[in-house]
Amino acid sequence: MTNNGRAQAVRRRLAAAVVAAVWARPDAAPAARSEVYALVGGRIVTVSGPTHDRGTLVMRDGVIEAVGPSAAVPPDARVIRADNLVLTPGLIDGFSGTGLPVVTGRPSGTAGSGAAAAPPPSLLAPQAMALDRVRVADALKARDAGITTVLVVPREGVLPGQSVILNLSGDKAEAMALKQPAALHLHMSTLAREYPGSLMGTVAYARQSLDDAIRYRDEWAAYERSPAGKRRPRYDAALAAWQEVLAGRERLLVTAFRENDVRRALAIADEFKIKVAVAGAPQAFRVADLVKSRQLPLLVSVNFDPPRPATFFGRSDEEKERRDIEAAERNPAELHKAGVSFALVSAYAPNFLAGVRKAIERGLPRDVALRAVTLGAAEALGIADRTGSLEAGKIADVVAWSAEPLTKDAKPRMVFVDGQLYEPEETPAPSPSPTAEAGGASAGSGGTVESPQLNSERGIAARLHDVEPRQRDLAALGPHSRASVTTGPVLVAIVGGTLLTVGAQGTIEKGTVLVRDGKIAAVGRDVEVPAGATVIDATGRYVMPGIIDCHSHTAIEENVNECSDSVTAEVRIADVVDQHDVNIYRQLGGGVTTINVLHGSCNTIGGQNAVLKLRWGKPPEELVFKDAPRGIKFALGENVKRSNFRAPGPPRYPATRMGVEAVLRESFQEAQAYKREWDEYEKKSRAARSAPRGREAAPQDERRRIHFAAAEDPVAPRKNLRLEELKDILDGKVYVHAHCYRADEILMLIRVAEEFGFKIRTFQHVLEGYKVASEIARHGAGASTFSDWWAYKMEAYDAIPYNAAIMAAHGVKVSMNSDSDELARRLYWEAAKAMKYGGASEAEALKMVTLNPAWQLGIDKRVGSIEVGKDADLAIFSAHPFAPDTRVEQTLVDGIVYFDRSKDVAARTSPAKAAGIQ
């Protein structure tokens, strides 16, 4: 915004609260006499300055008047001896649920209980105010732990609204407000039965919200410039609530539950040019460098074992859960070691101090911890000019402790909030959860998990966890370290092996592949190995192009489906890539180098795919296959109809294959309308740009002036990220990967696509593709199928293992995919089955897991065969990949060895070694 007056007008119209700090004066304070306290004889830890072993602290009318070893006691002061006590600033819990009603997991179970009386939490309401839900009596209990100041954030939902900072004195929430509203929040969380029901949905929701908020701003700005002749924009409280963040005056406070949520927060900040802060972040130490370089305000959780839903699918890995909890406990100490400053916050832990003590126990210096719950927290919340330390002029939030603060024995004897004395209960209220207290005690049940036990059984993945945390994202990742080959110009020669090139050179016995800078530089029998090349001896082994899996759900964080709607084209797998998914490594162990990570099949039109290279150990953005064309998942049939299970609640449309077709048709009709709308806008916008501009040129005639104003700067139509994607499909910019089974639905999709003028790039699964192979070939689509899965559901009953061979014989480019973290590791044998069932040639079968899926993903110029100029993505097998004794020995991506079986085996320790697992 360039015009100040305009900006002010907009702000007024938007009712975006200009944030003003409220100096809370206790309502009940007597008007006539000043309230003055002098604490004499205590040890004073100022936090901001020196610690005084004996000193005096004077408070007057809610403000610290004097601090020091020789501060004078004013004559009107009430003198309190503080000998043997330690004075600190009041503790600040910079991210808490203080005073908010606890909403239990299952809403149905709470009906009629006490909690039901409270207003329900707002799950997607940026305009909601935490202040409105605070229960004063509950909030004040926090003082028993020496906490004087809290940021109150509703726990539930994704956009839970705006928090408030309370200073805990007074009898009304409003009176306690130190900053209201304090911040706008985004939890990187999901909703149960509505949108967004997946992490990728949450990111998409945030993106759409910000786009909408931008348009809202522009719409109002245009209206304010010249309201005459324009339709009055609608007031929208939710979009208005974003404006302070959008204008860069306030930070969006993002709650991070995972390492990558920190990256997601920064990505949103970059995309929309807004400022963010991050709360929670139990694995922030893994991104310490990023946090530092971006100067990201960080509110680090001490809720190390937060309540979570149980995991199903038998995927329980208690060992990993323990390891994650231990990592979270070490997180503050590691962050400190990395030179990151941060606040420590309860993040809803039932016992804040127990969590802080645990962080200290795990290596965080106590003085650093104290700063992190006082001045550090104040800094992160932007209130360090008024609180957080014992300095003259600051708010008189002071705690007198019975022992050194943040030790087990330290009990708050006196708590001053706004200069008002509160004497805590002798025994602090017991924490609601018994486990929380146990977590604080080193000898408690929570402390029984000792690392030696874990160390004794570390496989590859465990080893990675043992590596210095900051190295995790770097090169030195255990036995398959790529440090040796990444230095300098990379020159690798793989010699002596049988090369299955899948290219024009066919099979080459005793051949050499020369790799330079990650690309294949030479292939053949007589390739000279230059001096200085790293030589990989593949004598007796087979080298084939890295395997490409055209249907994967590996490395997706949280839900694979955004199931809340049957069209969710706006969600992106790329937003939720989990680079730590150990299945990446396991699949490298099966020779896989590239995977097509797809949204699930819950929806007719699912989300956008991400083609990944399995560069194990790299951050998520470096896994993305840079030049791969965009793609999207479609799905037809039983999964979309949701016919094989009963989901609670109202049935979702569609429930028949007729409905699936209707959803497609309706979606693309809508997309066409959207496209027209934007085309018109762009035409108008072009016209406006070419029209004469400026005040002088404005026509004098009133009617023409209005017309001119309207044309001057047309407000863009709403950017609908869902329709945007569909529009791009219509424009042929997006590859469609369509999950399907039955022949009739395959034909249906071809019909719809051709009617709307777009192409299906691949039919996925396509188990009845053999019945309509000619039609698929004529449309020009590829087919990505299972070798021999069948009979697991009705639409798979006519599935036959000859499917791939029949389709291939009809001219369809066929690939074998896994759709499974496990099957992905043995796709080479899946390909071999095409020879057994239907008589595909060896060359044809090899293509089904290399060049054909590369074509299907539009990356066949880069990968899929061993040919000069292509990426050096290679799998080295101990025998022919189709033979029964074969095993992957090494896997290279971009010429870098990411998997080396011999190193992996050598690095094993007991019990794997004891069991002879090798």
Partner 1 sequence: MKAVGVALLALAPLAAGAADTVAIRGGRIITVSGPVIEKGTVVVSGGKITAVGPSVEVPAGARVIDATGQTVYPGLIDGLTTLGLVEIGSVAGSVDTTETGDVNPHAEAWIAVNPHSELLPVARANGITAALAAPAGGLISGQSALLRLAGTTPEALTVKTPVAMHMVYPTGRPVFDISRLFEEPELKTFEEREKDRKRNQEKELKRLGNLLEEAKAYGAARAAARAGTIAPPRPDLPMDALAPVARGEVPVVMRVDAEEDIRGAVRFAEEHGLKLVIAGGLEAWRVADLLKQKDVAVLVNVDRLPRRESDPYDAAYANPAALQRAGVRFAIVSDDASQSRNLPYEAAMARAYGLGADAALRAITLSPAEIFGVAERMGAISPGRDADLFVASGDIMDPRTEVTHVLIDGREQPLQTRHTHLYEQFKNRP
- Name residues contacting partner 1, limited to 183-212 (CB under 8 A): 192-193
- 846 neighbors 500 (Cβ within 8 angstroms): yes
Interface with partner 1 by CB under 8 A: which range of 24-32, 84-92, 233-241, 789-797?
789-797
Q: Which of 683, 778, 792, 841 touches partner 1 (CB under 8 A)?
A: 792
Is 499 one of the binding residues for partner 1 (CB under 8 A)? no
Restricting to residues 674-713, name those near partner 1 by CB under 8 A: none
Q: Select 869 or 916, whichever has its Cβ closest to partner 1.
A: 916
- 762 neighbors 659 (Cβ within 8 angstroms): no
Q: Select 9 or 800, whichever has its Cβ closest to partner 1.
A: 800
Q: Which of 171, 270, 271, 321 touches partner 1 (CB under 8 A)?
A: 321
The least CB distance from residue 745 to partner 1, in Å, is 17
Q: Select 29 or 800, whichever has its Cβ closest to partner 1.
A: 800
Restricting to residues 805-824, name those near partner 1 by CB under 8 A: 806, 809, 821-823
DSSP letter (8 states) at residue 159? B
Is 438 one of the binding residues for partner 1 (CB under 8 A)? yes
∠ CA 801-806-811, rounded to 5°: 140
Is 118 one of the binding residues for partner 1 (CB under 8 A)? no
The least CB distance from residue 747 to partner 1, in Å, is 13
Phi, psi of 98 (to 5 degrees): -50, 125
Residues that contact partner 1, how many (by CB under 8 A): 96
Q: Could you tell me how far CA 836 lies from the centroid of its own chain?
A: 44
Is 884 one of the binding residues for partner 1 (CB under 8 A)? yes
Is 915 one of the binding residues for partner 1 (CB under 8 A)? yes
Is 18 one of the binding residues for partner 1 (CB under 8 A)? no
The least CB distance from residue 736 to partner 1, in Å, is 25
Closest CA to 511 of 521, 529, 523: 523
The least CB distance from residue 143 to partner 1, in Å, is 26
What's the number of CA atoms in the CB half-sphere (13 Å) around residue 474? 12
SS3 723: helix
Q: How far apart are CA 804 and CA 788, in angstroms?
A: 9
The two three-digit tokens of residue 283, written as one number: 């694995």
Q: Select 681 or 790, whichever has its Cβ closest to partner 1.
A: 790
- 110 neighbors 116 (Cβ within 8 angstroms): yes
Closest CA to 824 of 500, 535, 594: 594
Q: Could you tell me how far CA 660 lies from the centroid of its own chain?
A: 31
The least CB distance from residue 203 to partner 1, in Å, is 20
DSSP letter (8 states) at residue 129? B
Is 586 one of the binding residues for partner 1 (CB under 8 A)? yes
Is 763 one of the binding residues for partner 1 (CB under 8 A)? no
- 40 neighbors 80 (Cβ within 8 angstroms): yes
Amino acid identity at 573: I
The least CB distance from residue 113 to partner 1, in Å, is 15
Is 443 one of the binding residues for partner 1 (CB under 8 A)? no
Q: Select 493 or 602, whichever has its Cβ closest to partner 1.
A: 602
Q: Select 148 or 803, whichever has its Cβ closest to partner 1.
A: 803
Is 235 one of the binding residues for partner 1 (CB under 8 A)? no
Is 791 one of the binding residues for partner 1 (CB under 8 A)? yes
Q: What H or E segment, with its residue span, contains residue 687?
A: helix 657-690
CA distances to 760, 767, 798 from 795, rounded to whole Å, are: 20, 8, 7
Interface with partner 1 by CB under 8 A: which range of 56-64, 724-732, 744-752, 907-915?
907-915
Q: Which of 583, 594, 762, 850 touches partner 1 (CB under 8 A)?
A: 583
Q: Which of 832, 851, 863, 874 touches partner 1 (CB under 8 A)?
A: 832
Instruction: Using CA atoms of 777, 779, 785, 791 in order, give the dihedral in degrees to the nearest 10.
Output: -100
- In the block, which residue shows the tokens 């009107």? 76
Interface with partner 1 by CB under 8 A: which range of 59-67, 260-268, 455-463, 481-489?
455-463
Restricting to residues 769-788, name those near partner 1 by CB under 8 A: 770-771, 773-774, 788
Restricting to residues 281-320, name those near partner 1 by CB under 8 A: 305-310, 312-314, 316-320
∠ CA 712-713-718, rounded to 5°: 145
Closest CA to 326 of 439, 224, 417: 439
- 28 neighbors 171 (Cβ within 8 angstroms): yes
Is 280 one of the binding residues for partner 1 (CB under 8 A)? no
Q: How far apart are CA 870 and CA 862, in angstroms?
A: 5
Is 644 one of the binding residues for partner 1 (CB under 8 A)? yes
User: How do beta strands 735-740 and 631-635 pair?
Assistant: parallel
Q: Which of 120, 887, 902, 906 touches partner 1 (CB under 8 A)?
A: 887
Restricting to residues 523-582, name those near partner 1 by CB under 8 A: 563, 582
The least CB distance from residue 102 to partner 1, in Å, is 11
Q: How far apart are CA 882 and CA 879, in angstroms?
A: 8
User: How do beta strands 343-345 and 298-301 pair?
Assistant: parallel
